[in-house]
Structures are given as C-alpha cells and as structure tokens.
Amino acid sequence: MSGLREKQKAERQRRLVRAAAAHFREAGFEKTRIEEIAATAELSAGTVYNYYRHKGELLIAVVAMEVHEVLAAGEPLVQHPPETAESAINALIDTYLDHALVYLSKDNWRHAMAAAIAQPDAVLARRYTELDARLADQVRRLLDSLQQRGAVRADLDTIAFGKMIFNNTNQLFTEYVKEEGQELAELKAGLRAQHAALCRLIA
C-alpha cells in the first residue's frame, strides 16, 4: 500500500507543478492564485498546501522540473560529445537555453531569482542553488569526456572551468531575463563568442 500511496503522491505533485507552470506563464506569477492552480490540477487548495507552503515553493518546483528535463537532455552530449571542445560546449549550453522558456517566462524567472536572493537560507533558495550546482557539474562532466578524448588539455581543471562556463552562462542569462526585449539569439551569440575565446586557451 505504501508504494501505491507514493505513486499517488508523485502523480498529484506532477499535476500541481504542471498546472502551476501553465498558470504562471499565462497570467504571471503575481496574478496566479493557488485556488486556480488547484482547480486545474483537479485538487483542493488544501491539498496544494500539503505539498507547498506558498506560490514561491511551487515556482521553484517548476524550475526543478525544467532543470531535470534539461539535465536529461544534456546527458547524451556528455556521453558522446561533438568533436571539438567549442562545438561540445555550445551544444550543451544551447540545450539549457533552448529549454529555459518552455515552462517559465522571463517574468517567472525574475521572481524565482529574486526569491532565492532575498531569502538565501530558505528551503527554496537552497533548492535553487542545488539545481545550479547540478548544471555546473554536468558541464564539468562534459569537459571530463573531452579531456579523456584528448580534445582539451590534460592539465585542465575541469571542476573550476566547468563552474566558470556555467557561472558565465548564468550571469548572461540573468541579464537576458532582466531585459524583456532581448532575444535568445542575441544571448547565444554573445556566449558563443566567449566560448570561442575560452576554447582557444584549453584545446
């Protein structure tokens, strides 16, 4: 019975998070009400609060869903990266960026970032930080694969370099979501120029 209960709980959470993502994108984070999310998920508002204490936690749950899907999409590149370091890094980072606005609008991302910064010791902020760490580690593992192949220098510190690539991506992504008019192609072009310069140092 416990296995069935866990499956039912996971299914309710899945419905809640997908319903929240839809409402946040359509109406915006501020205008979305818990009752609306509950109705879409075919659950009571009380049930929502059994899983999430407030909308902020639901927003981070949507971020987590996005990151988990991005990590899964990036794994084939880690296991079988493109031939050069530059093409491999661009491909992985493009995977992150192409998925970034599937569930979350720029407005949603701004609220998620603000919540993580405003309450750094809160559970949702720690969760946000953990997700970033998992993405940075995937970049590191990509570099490890390239290093084993001989596509990057043998003495490269893949942990430090992986963090640097991800942190730079994160910084430019933050600027991208702050500027409503900036297009994704512009963000990608800026990152690709920087990756080209970096890869000349490590190949």
Task: Give residue-wise pLDDT tens across range 117-158.
Answer: 877 777 777 888 899 999 999 999 999 999 999 999 999 999
Long-range Cβ contact pairs of 93-100 (< 8 A, separation 24 or more): 93/139, 93/165, 93/169, 93/191, 93/195, 94/188, 95/70, 96/70, 96/135, 96/169, 97/169, 97/173, 97/184, 97/187, 97/188, 97/191, 98/184, 99/66, 99/69, 99/70, 99/73, 100/66, 100/173
pLDDT at 1: 54
pLDDT at 17: 94
For 166, the token pair is 């991800």
pLDDT per position as a tens digit, 166-200: 999 999 999 999 999 999 999 999 999 999 999 99
- Output the pTM of the full model: 0.90
- Rounded distance between C-alpha atoms, residue 202 and residue 186, angstroms: 25
Domains of the chain (ranges, CATH numbers): 1-52 (1.10.10.60), 55-202 (1.10.357.10)
pLDDT at 82: 96
pLDDT at 118: 78
**152, 146 in Cβ contact below 8 A?**
yes
